[in-house]
Amino acid sequence: MIALRLVLNTGSRMMFTFLPEFSRGTGIDVDRLGQLLSVRDLSGLAAPLVGRTSDRVGTRRVMMTGAMLGAIGMVLFTLGSAGVAIGLVCYGLGRIGYHVGMNAWVGHEVAYERRGRATGQVEMTWAGAALVGLPMMGLLIDRLGWRAAPAVLAIVTLPLVVLLADRLPKPTSAGTGAAARPSLSPSAWAALATFGLLNGAAQLLVFGHGIWLEATYDFDPSQVGFAIVAVGVAELAASYTSSRLTDRLGKRNSVVAGAAVLTIGLAGLAVLDQPPLTIGLALLVLSFLGFEFAVVSAIPLVAELDPEARAEIIGRSVGLSIVARAGASLFASVVILGPGFRFLIVVAAGLAAVTTVLAIAAVREPGPRPSLDRAGC
């Protein structure tokens, strides 16, 4: 389950990190490819339906279907301009299915008071994509061409799906054909809004950081990939720290702390137009560290907003966050070629600040509820 998440996260991250290289390879302009990535992310509108389906048919089946769709999407992407749009949409739908099913599986199997630790362990794969996946993709692109990266990810997915089907225990809540309708309080809606805004702010940085590294420091694709290793170390530290501290500090307090750190990092990048490499990477690392800590802490909180319709609530949060990312990507694809990276980061810092204030003012911690906790976390 974790290995598949690593592959899917690598596929998600590499599109923006190596955006200039994919643009040149496919013959699609950066702004146009950015718009297609926004269309990919708009597939997040299907996330609530995916969640409802997961509540009915079981999280395990949804996870496997999502992983296979992701592999098909990567294969279509290698066809170039003829397959990029369809491939990205397939990949987006597959990623959503896997993400929703996996988080619902963890929510069913791990007690709330220990779920921060379990989620932190799973979400280390986001950092793993930066530490392992992106440098490998950069080397593949440099030596074999841009098609090699999506092709390898598709090939690796297939045996992992077989292992998932064979070895992952069936969840204790496997789907009964009926699903409760969600019931959300104002605090729960505020938590969902916080999750969406947090992802939107971070996406502006995700979209522009590869272009910024290339333009500011004259990095080639392999250098960009290895520069992101520093970001991956920060994200790994954030996920690990979240796994150790979030349950003690409280999920809501941890979200506030992470959003505040993200705001500080983005503000630093906005103030310093062309910082020295050390300072620029430090601010980049700080921003990703804050985001990762906040979002990992928010996932178990969201999963407890309505345990009777857990997968659908997770689907709503994923849909909201992905739509926020799509809007941010669409905005960034226009801004990056006009006002530029600095203006993009000013907007991102403003969104992060609003997220911090909203989490402080309106989000409340859900109370712990009984759980089977069969996962032993």
* pLDDT tens digit sequence for 135-190: 899 899 888 989 999 999 999 999 999 998 888 776 655 454 455 566 678 888 89
pLDDT band at 58 (very low <50, low <70, confident <90, very high): confident
The CATH number corresponding to 2-166+185-362 among 1.25.40.10, 1.10.3720.10, 2.40.50.140, 1.20.1250.20 equals: 1.20.1250.20
**pTM, two decimal places:** 0.72
Amino acid at 191: A
- The CA distance from 263 to 205, in Å, is 12
Give the mean pLDDT of the chain.
Answer: 84
Q: Which of 34, 32, 41 is nearest to 16 (CA)?
A: 34
Q: Which of 99-108, 291-300, 309-318 has the lowest mean pLDDT?
A: 309-318
The greatest distance separating any two alpha carbons of the chain, rounded to the nearest whole angstrom, comes to 58
Contact yes or no for 26/123 (Cβ under 8 A): no
- The CA distance from 66 to 39, in Å, is 18
Q: What is the pLDDT of residue 322?
A: 75
* 131 DSSP assignment: I
pLDDT higher for 317 or 174? 317
Which residue bears the tokens 């996996």? 102
How far is residue 216 from each of residues 204, 295, 334, 340, measured CA to CA in Å?
17, 28, 19, 12
Q: What is the pLDDT of residue 305?
A: 82
pLDDT band at 376 (very low <50, low <70, confident <90, very high): very low
Say which residues have a Cβ less than 8 Å from residue 112's Cβ, sequence separation at least 6. Answer: 300, 304, 366, 368, 369, 371
- The CA distance from 250 to 150, in Å, is 38
CB count within 10 Å of CB 71 equals: 25
Contact yes or no for 80/153 (Cβ under 8 A): no
